[in-house]
Amino acid sequence: MPTPTKTTQASSKKRAAILGTGAGIIAIGGGLATVWPTGSKSLPDTFPALDTCRVIEVVDGDTLHASCDGLKTITIRLFGADAPEMNQPSGPMARAALGTLLVGQNLTIQPIEKDKYGRLVAQLSTSAYSSVERRQIETGLAWWSPQYAPDSRDLRLAEDTARAAKRGLWAMPAPIPPWQWRKAH
């Protein structure tokens, strides 16, 4: 396994391609640690390079678990998307849609940061979709999260398109954003 190197702010802008094969397998190239941003939300500088990861569970419409060589299970959260909670209308549908997007696909993961819950926040793409998070939003199965992705014009436009077309949760008369749902429940 290659030895990880310490990240600099300049290298944090680089994207890590994590290519996979088969049903939910993610193969990770060496030197993964070189892509983590610095700062309080960064992963440790000694984060190991990985050989393979396997998606083992889709938790909800914006979160999944992967099992990776050399690590225990990693939780990955989609960057800039906030899907309905599982006990919220459209929550189970959002989870099922994310599972369908990931089954049998080659994946690319672009790590962004580690969140306050220890999850890897990342952008995901497959051979069919250049942005899994955008796909969840444009089909009306997640909100764009301006709090965590304020500069993402692409995700904002995806939500605007879903709203205008009344797709997914936007077909409901008054969908409640998950951040409001969590406060009330």
pLDDT at residue 172, rounded to an integer: 94
- Catalytic residue numbers read 77, 85, 119
How many DSSP H helices and E strands does the chain contain?
4, 9
Report, in angstroms and rounded to the nearest whole number, the Rg of the chain calculated over CA atoms.
Answer: 16
Residue 68: band (very low, low, confident or very high) from pLDDT cuts 50, 70, 90? low
Residue 4: band (very low, low, confident or very high) from pLDDT cuts 50, 70, 90? very low
Share of the chain above pLDDT 90, in %: 46
Fold of 11-130: OB fold (Dihydrolipoamide Acetyltransferase, E2P) (2.40.50)
User: Which helix H or strand E contains 157, and what residues bound it?
Assistant: helix 153-165
34-49: average pLDDT:
40
Q: What are phi and psi of 90, to 5 degrees?
A: 80, -5
pLDDT tens digits for range 10-39: 233 333 333 333 334 344 433 332 233 333
CB 133 within 8 A of CB 157: no
More confident residue, 182 or 32: 182
How does strand 120-126 pair with strand 107-114?
antiparallel
Residue 155: C-alpha distances to residues 16, 24, 135 (Å): 21, 24, 9
- Min mean pLDDT across 6-15, 49-58, 63-72, 102-111 is at 6-15
Closest CA to 35 of 113, 102, 87: 113
